[in-house]
């Protein structure tokens, strides 16, 4: 019996924690590839380019190229181009987001823009918030790479992109169009990019509200691993039901 066409893997909490590889992750990924399945890394991270993310994985001993990565920055750049054409964009975000937007043929500007795109920005300022508001009030579209409220690090959590998105939403009274998991745009970009059918894919994640819900929204088989954010208890309280629950990525057969 043929295996799935692709395993779609979240990163932090599934493949690694911060700078440490989860035991058995590298071996499992190679085993899945050897069995004939494609492995795609799907992340809401919008601060790095696909090459940067692939480089981090390579440095951890996990074989990866930029073509194996779908990030929310990359997906946002393609989604805007596909839906609205090449656009002038004011980004609230870091260099990885800017690079992906420019590669997709968009122009970066501070005013008179078509879209305001918000991702995680660790140099977020009042001036950026004010510029974003001014552009929205002039008719720009409000697009968020993702709305993850918190970002895991080695010790605890830091504010995520959702914090910046919420600030601009509060100021403008507008609801953003959100690209990243669990929303359809990032999943549609992934399926188009590799010519995949959702029913032939297995989504593996550690967060019910992003990874598992994102997979379920498009009809993927979903696997929750317990090495990250969500627990078995969370499954009971959230109402989001993964198809399979495993202790770790190493337990995928």
Domains of the chain (ranges; CATH) run: 6-44+181-251 (3.40.50.1000), 74-178 (3.40.50.1000)
Question: Is 223 in a helix, a strand, or coil?
Answer: strand
Could you identify the residue written with the tokens 């504010």?
A: 159
Q: Is 50 exceeded by the pLDDT of residue 131?
A: yes
pLDDT value at 1 more than 70 = no
Mean pLDDT of 118-138: 98
Mind telling me the catalytic residues? 10, 12
For position 2, what pLDDT does the model report? 63
The confidence score (pLDDT) of residue 35 equals 96
Q: Which residues of 200-237 are buried (b: 16+ CB within 10 A; e: fewer)?
A: bbbbbbbbbbbbbbbbbebebbbbbbbbbbbeeeebee
Q: Cα-Cα-Cα-Cα dihedral of 216, 219, 225, 230, to 10°?
A: 0
Contact 37, 79 (CB under 8 A): no
Q: What is the pLDDT of residues 161-189, one digit of tens each?
A: 999 999 999 999 999 999 999 999 999 99
| pLDDT value of residue 64 | 97
Would you say residue 49 has pLDDT above 50?
A: yes
Distance CA(12)–CA(33), nearest Å, equals: 20
Other Cβ atoms closer than 10 A to 130: 12
Q: Give residue-wise pLDDT tens across range 23-38.
A: 999 999 999 999 999 9
Task: Output the pLDDT for position 202.
Answer: 98
CB 118 within 8 A of CB 176: yes
Entry pTM? 0.95
> Which has more pLDDT, 157 or 196?
196
Q: Which tens digit of pLDDT belongs to each residue from 64-103?
A: 999 999 999 999 999 999 999 999 999 999 999 999 999 9
Between CA 27 and CA 39 the distance in angstroms is 13
Q: Please name the residues in contact with 92: beta carbons below 8 A apart, sequence gap of 6 or more.
A: 116, 117, 118, 119, 121, 124, 128, 129, 132, 164, 168
**In Å, how far are 3, 92, 117, 174, 249 from 171, measured between CA atoms?**
49, 15, 15, 8, 41
**CB environment 30-62: b (16+ within 10 A), e (fewer):** eebeeeebbbbbbbbbbbbbbebbbebbeebeb
Element (H, E) at 88: strand 88-92
Q: Is the pLDDT of residue 253 over 80?
A: yes
């Amino acid at each position: 019996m043929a295996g799935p066409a692709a395993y779609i893997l979240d990163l932090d909490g599934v493949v690694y924690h911060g700078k440490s590889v989860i035991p058995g992750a590298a071996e499992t990924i190679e085993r899945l590839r050897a069995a004939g399945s494609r492995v795609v890394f799907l992340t809401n991270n919008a601060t790095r380019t696909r090459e940067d993310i692939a480089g981090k994985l390579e440095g951890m001993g996990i074989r990866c190229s930029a073509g194996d990565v779908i990030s929310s920055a990359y997906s946002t750049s393609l989604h805007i181009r596909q839906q609205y054409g090449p656009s002038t964009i004011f980004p609230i975000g870091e260099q990885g987001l800017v690079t992906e937007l420019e590669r997709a043929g968009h122009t970066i500007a501070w005013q008179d823009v078509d879209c305001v795109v918000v991702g995680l920005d660790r140099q977020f300022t009042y001036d950026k918030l004010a510029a974003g508001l001014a552009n929205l009030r002039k008719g720009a579209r409000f697009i968020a790479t993702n709305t993850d409220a918190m970002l895991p690090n080695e010790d605890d959590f830091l504010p995520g992109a959702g914090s910046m998105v919420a600030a601009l939403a509060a100021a403008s009274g507008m609801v953003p169009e959100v690209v990243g998991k669990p929303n359809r745009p990032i999943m549609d970009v992934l399926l188009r990019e590799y010519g995949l059918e959702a029913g032939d894919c297995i989504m593996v994640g550690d967060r019910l509200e992003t990874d598992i819900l994102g997979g379920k929204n498009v009809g993927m088989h979903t696997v929750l691993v317990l090495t990250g954010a969500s627990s078995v208890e969370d499954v009971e309280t959230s109402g989001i039901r993964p198809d399979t629950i495993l202790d770790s990525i190493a337990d995928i057969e």
